[in-house]
A and B are shown apart, each in its own frame.
Chain A
């Protein structure tokens, strides 16, 4: 069971907007910034959002992140077929003194 809670799946049709939630506690999301990754099995994970809402160079502005209290969310607007894959939130946990990941959300573009 993961320290951060994400829905196991999400879906949408091309062009739609989807959001993926990530719930934690005071010791992790409540105290530190949240990062989001996308991952296709067998490939290297890719950083999508860092410091709650910042996009690395090369990540389209269709992707956005936000954080409030002990929860964070990733929004993808203008959904495209190539957005299919697994999405993970992550942050540092001050109580565990360790990085923690959410369980991952598999996004399907219908």
Chain B
């Protein structure tokens, strides 16, 4: 069964850091681009960042560019999101998502994790 399991969420202060991880299983991980998508409570879905299957291509939403870094370890089937200089507006439920059939994060997301909550507050 294809599964994604996020971890690493929690409480951080404004200006602080958190590192999210997503453990994948049930598919050939290196063959698929992966993304992080978030949802602020009561708001819509917002794509945050994506990475190609090889890890050579990384992409970011303008709202996190320069503060967040996405990476992957294909030997461990994990994708991570290092979040620095956190802001109150980064408070959200963060989902890990797998592309359906492509090495590019612009493909449809066919498998999603259940998410991990990030709260940024003083």
A interface list, Cβ under 8 A from B: 2, 32, 35, 37, 39, 41, 43-47, 50-51, 56, 86, 88, 90-92, 96-104
B6 to chain A, nearest CB (A): 10
Contact B106 A32 (CB under 8 A): yes
A43 to chain B, nearest CB (A): 7
B92 to chain A, nearest CB (A): 12
Contact A98 B59 (CB under 8 A): yes
Contact B47 A90 (CB under 8 A): yes
How many residue pairs between the two chains, A and B, have CB atoms under 8 Å in the bound complex? 65
Question: Known interface pairs A2-B44, A39-B45, A101-B45. Does A47 touch B59 (Cβ–Cβ under 8 Å)?
Answer: no
Question: Which chain B residues lie closer than 8 Å to A32 at the CB level?
Answer: 106
Interface contacts beyond A90-B47, A96-B62: sample of 13 additional A-B pairs, CB < 8 Å, sorted by A: A37-B109, A45-B37, A45-B95, A47-B108, A50-B108, A50-B110, A56-B100, A88-B44, A91-B106, A98-B59, A98-B61, A99-B105, A104-B45
Contact A99 B100 (CB under 8 A): no
- Residues of B in contact (CB 8 Å), total 26
A51 to B107, CA, bound (A): 8
B52 to chain A, nearest CB (A): 13
Q: List 27 A-B contacts (CB under 8 A).
A: A2-B44, A32-B106, A35-B109, A37-B109, A39-B39, A39-B45, A41-B39, A44-B112, A44-B115, A45-B37, A45-B97, A45-B112, A47-B108, A47-B109, A50-B110, A56-B100, A56-B110, A90-B45, A92-B104, A98-B59, A98-B60, A98-B61, A98-B62, A99-B105, A101-B37, A101-B46, A103-B44
